[in-house]
Structure 1
Amino acid sequence: MRLIGILGGYACLGLSFLIVIEILARKLFNVSLQGVDEIGGYVVAITGTFGMALAAVERAHTRIDVLLLRLPKRVQAALNLLSYVGLGIGAAFMAYMGWRTLSDSLLFGSVSSSPLQTPLWLPQSLWLAGLVVFGLSALWTALRGLLALRAGLDAANRVLAPPTIAEEIEEAKR
């Protein structure tokens, strides 16, 4: 999963360079590269879905900890498990809708309305793959948490709960 994060980072870095080149070309030469905004949309959509998958595995999705930390450990574990199941179900629904979108694009041979005329099945396939990986990652984390519950609430919270401040400091040191 870490490789996915690294590749996503390089894709965003490449997009940043492309945007800088586009800006310089417009300001200095009054020329546009055409399609940088379209490519940017594809990069953001694809890296976003794979990034959500990485966040699911790394326990990095945003939660309201103020209330969660005041609840009993058993309730915390149940809510954390429920949140990952809900995340997986939501991602599965998004993947289903993504599949329908991709199917329509394939059926009709859809291309983008920009000068690039990108066949839409190309970016949509990668976007759908990211949604599938996201859903599987969330459900995998939920399953790991459920299995960890057999070892106790502390073990389940190490899999499901948001990272503690001490864990975040330790991660930052690496």
Structure 2
Amino acid sequence: MIGVRRFAQWGLWFGGALVLLAAVLIGIDVLMRKFLALSIGGADELAGYSLAIGTTWGLGAALLDRAHIRIDSLYVLFPQKLRLALDFLALMLFTGFFALTLWHGFGVVAQSWTSESRSQSALETPTIIPQFLWLAGLVAFVAVALILLVQALRLGAAGDLNGMARLISTRSAEEEVEEEIRDLKDRQIREGKN
């Protein structure tokens, strides 16, 4: 799982960098419009591509960090085995939804490839480029989700319910506090070395 986490972290950094670049591009475009009466042209299109691509590449890391939002008002009241069964079902459905999205995404990319589609903007971007990067992010996410499903199933079959919970369950308040304390200590150590 360490290699999967590293790969997902790389995807998160890549996606975050794209979104950050889009924000900078839009900021520059706004300033140019305000003070120079000029526009970059296509900044909104590029930002849209960045957001779509960045989102798909960040999904895997969010899944491994258990950072996707869940409403757990009643969930915390259930016994551990029922919670784990619901977590596993949720992960299966979540993975299935994105696998279906991926399946249809292949059709969209194939159609763009065969018809040599271009955006209808001044940039006339070949749509295959952003669609391919978006699809690659979906492939990466579905692969990470499938690996997580198999690992969770393996832990559950071995009877390691606590390990399975650490892998796919919602983070408890205690886990979040421990993580914040660990991050604070790491920051203090880094600042002490500088």
TM > 0.5 fold call: yes
2:44 aligned residue: 37
2:12 aligned residue: 5
| Residue type of the alignment partner of 2:49 | Y
How far off is 1:19 after superposition?
A: 1.0
Provide Cα deviations, 1:118-166, integer angstroms capped at 9, x if missing partner: 0000000010011111112222111111111113321211111011122
How far off is 1:3 after superposition?
A: 1.9
- Percent identical pairs in the alignment equals 34
| Residue type of the alignment partner of 2:149 | A
Match of 2:169 among 139, 158, 161: 161
Answer yes or no: is 1:101 the counterpart of 2:103: no
- Supply the distance in 2 between the matched residues of 1:10 and 1:24 (Cα, whole angstroms): 21
Q: Does structure 2 conserve the Cα–Cα contact (< 8 Å) formed by 1:87 and 1:135?
A: no
Q: Which structure 2 segments of 5+ residues have no match?
A: 1-7, 184-194
Answer yes or no: is 1:14 the counterpart of 2:21: yes
Q: Which runs of 4+ in 1 moved over 3 A?
A: none
Q: Does structure 2 conserve the Cα–Cα contact (< 8 Å) formed by 1:59 and 1:160?
A: yes
Match of 1:88 among 95, 98, 121: 95
Query: 86-95 or 11-20: which moved more?
Result: 11-20
1:71 aligned residue: 78
Partner SS state of residue 65, structure 1: coil
Query: 138-147 or 17-26: which moved more?
Result: 138-147
TM-score by length of 2: 0.85
Query: 135-144 or 117-126: which moved more?
Result: 135-144
Provide Cα deviations, 1:8-35, integer angstroms capped at 9, x if missing partner: 2222221111111100100001111100
How far off is 1:169 after superposition?
A: 2.4
Q: Does structure 1 conserve the Cα–Cα contact (< 8 Å) formed by 2:112 and 2:127?
A: yes
CA RMSD of aligned residues (A): 1.2
- Supply the distance in 2 between the matched residues of 1:80 and 1:21 (Cα, whole angstroms): 44
Partner SS state of residue 15, structure 1: helix
Partner SS state of residue 74, structure 2: helix
Q: Does structure 1 conserve the Cα–Cα contact (< 8 Å) formed by 2:14 and 2:57?
A: no
Q: Does structure 2 conserve the Cα–Cα contact (< 8 Å) formed by 1:148 and 1:159?
A: no
Q: Does structure 2 conserve the Cα–Cα contact (< 8 Å) formed by 1:110 and 1:121?
A: yes
TM-score by length of 1: 0.95
